[in-house]
Chains A and B, each alone.
Chain A
Amino acid sequence: MGKELLELQLMNPRGETEPPPVLAPNLRIKDIAGKKIGLYSNSKPGMDNFYTAIDQLLKKRYPTMTTSVLKGSFEIRDEEAKAFASQIDAFIYAVGD
């Protein structure tokens, strides 16, 4: 007769919280032409070069488009986002390293 192995129950070490509800993105803009596009730079080295390139390439295709660049800390703060959102039609947010 084989020895029966003791089985245990353990307490779960994990602490996943309830996820937020799923939201749908906003309706998209119809066209880039004539719109003001916001760009946020978190001041990491290279951001200026990256946004300069985006700005130039989009303006070449959509000459009536304008851009507005906001520079800030690693993540855009709520009050900054609110103020910025009131000035723009769409937003490009580049992150990475």
Chain B
Amino acid sequence: MTVEKLGIPTVPIVTSTFEWPVKNALYAKGMANLRTVFVPHPVAYRPADECRDKILGNDPITGKQVIREIVEALTTPLTEDEAKTGFIERPRERLIGPETSEGLQILFRENGWTSYLPIVLPTEEKVAAILKGTHRQPDEKVGEMQPSSPHEKWSYNVEEVAVNAVMAGAKPEFLPVILAIAATGVTALFTSTNSFTAMVCVNGPIRREINMNMSIGTFGPFNHANASIGNAWSLLSRNLGNGGAPGKKYMGSQGQGHNYTNLCFAEREERLPPGWNPFHVQKGYKPEDSAVSLFHGWSWSNLGGFESNRSKFIKRFFTYQTECCGQTMVLDPLTADQLYKEGFNSKEQLNQWLKENVMFPQEEYWYYRGFQSQGHPQEFELAKKGIEPYASWLKLPEGAVIPVPRGVDVNIIVAGGETNPYWQGGTLQYLASSSIDEWR
């Protein structure tokens, strides 16, 4: 569409699974009439002859031969309908109803405006009450959000965020946290075909003020603030961030159970080992500031173990975490203590050690996987010529480790109830931090 708007006739070719997301994106950019050609899904990782067959085969949506459709899309003159311009009306009512409470629960659910659990109905009175949690004006813009580019970005104000916060069951004192999350513009419901996990970590004095859980059951269904703030993020991602419509704006093939309330928790700053700074301080905030930090990525695991050498186990875990999008771990304080005793006097020191010691698995070193792993094509050529050490590395079995550091950065946070030295970790990428104090 960008190139089309620059005056160059364009034809998008899309795999058929993305029919609705693409049509939505075209509509959002004012190009609903742009001719699009579809091929059978998937194309990713498919060999050349299969790609060729798909282009010589038929468009699964129109039934026409793909190669012929591509040429026609670029050369056939526009029809009268295609050449039309104009405006689309999309009015938004401020109030919904009147209807019974049961009828409204059903309406909200069937419209896809909830997480399919009962909500707190957002009456004007309830929204006015929760707005007492912030000094900001109801009509003040908070931010903009989209489920991913190139979907349409929606913008929203304090009142609209408050409506979704009420639905999630939040109290007025939770609203500044929810506004801080909304201000980042980061969605909890990323479009990807991989079903992303989203995480939000709260730091600073507000954790205690609103009684967040950072002890036993940190990530579980055991705390009002954790649950309602996390759920509010999903609701506003759906209702204000143009997200959460399966098949259109959400393509996660299996979905992600975390998205009900996301991994919403507070860092247990009081139990950080000496020299270990809170996460928001690492991001430039003062200890007395309150801030949220947001993450997302492909995988998240729950790990235990009672090894004395915990750092080795962590290193081994991240060696094989090569999927999208980053690396993050949340350590129970007992695990953090173990690492401190091993000699890691700061989070930065532990991160540096992991950067230097997390190596490539054999397959990941050689194999080109697009933007996740570029492979090592030059080294591969050297290996084929028998040049060491590459030649020997190429002969290593699958699963072996190549002694080349991957340079991974690991986000390190501490939370948990010290019932055992466990930790959780995965490929979550740090996305943004935002001041909560600005929204008090």
Contacts and interface: CB of A to CB of B under 8 A. Distances in A.
Asked whether A and B interact, the reply is yes
Interface of A: 5-32, 37-38, 40, 43-47, 49-50, 52-54, 56-58, 61, 73-76, 78, 81-82, 84-85, 88-97
B213 to A, nearest CB: 26
Interface stretch (B147-155, B169-177, B274-282, B423-431): B147-155
Given A8-B97, A96-B43, A85 B6 contact: yes
A76 B75 contact: no
Shortest Cβ-Cβ A-B pairs, 4 listed: A96-B15, A7-B98, A45-B370, A20-B30
Contact of B71 (A11, A32, A49): A32
B369 A32 contact: no
B235 A13 contact: yes
Contacts of A47: 43, 370
Contacts of B73: 28
Contacts of B42: 46, 96-97
Contact of A28 (B29, B30, B75, B121): B75
A46 B42 CA distance: 9
Given A9-B97, A22-B88, A97-B193, A57 B55 contact: yes
A54 B70 contact: yes
B5 A23 contact: yes
A21 B30 contact: yes
Contact of B2 (A37, A81, A92): A81
Given A38-B8, A44-B44, A45-B368, 12 more contacts: A8-B100, A11-B127, A11-B159, A12-B92, A16-B90, A16-B154, A25-B4, A32-B71, A81-B3, A89-B9, A90-B9, A95-B22
B433 to A, nearest CB: 23
A13 B29 contact: no
A12 to B, nearest CB: 5
B6 A15 contact: no
B240 A15 contact: yes
A44 to B, nearest CB: 5
Contact of A27 (B15, B78, B84, B87): B78
B48 A9 contact: no
B96 interface: yes
B98 A8 contact: yes
B14 to A, nearest CB: 5
B334 interface: no
B74 interface: yes
B342 interface: no
Contacts of A29: 9, 74-75
B383 interface: no
Interface stretch (B32-40, B204-212, B352-360): B32-40
Interface in B114-160: 121-124, 127, 149-150, 152-156, 159-160
B325 interface: no
B43 A9 contact: no
Interface string B11-38: 1111101100010000111111111000
A8 to B, nearest CB: 6
Contacts of B12: 93-95
A93 B369 contact: no
B97 A10 contact: yes
Contacts of A17: 152-155
B85 A23 contact: yes
Contacts of B6: 81-82, 85
Contacts of A38: 3, 8
A29 B8 CA distance: 9
B82 interface: yes
Of the candidates A27, A53, A56, the one having the most CB atoms from chain B within 10 angstroms of its own CB is A53
